[in-house]
Amino acid sequence: MESQEIKNAISGILVVDKPVGLTSHDVVDHIRRGTGIRRAGHTGTLDPRASGVLVLLVGPAVRLSEFVSAADKRYQAILRLGNATDTYDAEGHFTRQPSTTPVDVTEEQFNEVLQTYIGEIEQTPPAFSAVKVHGRKAYEMARQGEEVELAPRKINVYHLEILEWAPPEVVIDVHCSSGTYVRSLANDVGIALGCGAYLVGLRRTKSGRFSLRDATPLRKLEEAFTAGNWYQYLIPAAEALAEWAAVELNPDEVEEVKHGHRVKAAADAKPGLVRGVSMAGELIAILDLDEVTMEWQPKKVFFS
């Protein structure tokens, strides 16, 4: 088998601990250059000023993107009380007059306001964000001084906790649904408190089932690319959906599914999406049950 053919067959997940200063796309470029595999992508943008867990899909596993991108996220965020910025973080321009007096907010008052943001809430993304308005990115419009009106969207916040109280700064733990802007949360909390607040630090500690324990610093991956042993960090694609039910396919069924053909389901099969895996545990496809014929219909196949 030729080297490029081998590369084209590689499929899996790289969990990177992204450093501050790089965009998520920068990291994807590093991975493409290092692996020699063009088919790679991330599963949820992390701002250049943020660090932490960035899940990348390599090879045919990129087809998992829509499922992995929708996974919940967890962050440690540093908020600074007493002012606000137009970008909702330290990159922007202040929108309030600086105060010379200490912030008059107690930890109890802060926590009381913070807890009101738990649950399903409506959140408006920052004007300085990559959300598109009539085909244009909002931040491009905002930088040109154009008025940007973004519609609020529903998100879920599952848990908010104060980790460190050191006013004017406070460190909080945020567990939320995909699509949540922690910058907006900081700004909204500041408005509710009446003193203003903006984000000065952000670290993603978890994305779906992958946490910092699973993440490899980008510098270490770069060293592995040079050494040629980066494969040791490649996680099987099936692990991205480890919480899903799995249907084991025998070799004949694997061939059928690879060609988009249905396979018979067990009599007690339950409806919904499942992983179709080989007897070796390799992710072959995402399957959906046809309850009329009691057959598994391939929805996404990871081999051709």
**Known catalytic residues?**
47
Full 3-state SS string of 265-302? CCCCCCCCEEEEEECCCCEEEEEEEECCCCEEEEEEEC
217 strand-pairing partners: 17
Q: Is the dihedral angle over the CA atoms 260, 263, 266, 268 positive or is it negative? A: positive
Q: Which amino acid is at 267?
A: A
CA-to-CA dists, residue 244 to 44, 57, 177, 275, angstroms: 20, 18, 18, 7
In the numeric block, the tokens 């070799």 are attached to: 251
Would you say 297 and 287 are in contact if contact means Cβ atoms under 8 Å apart? yes
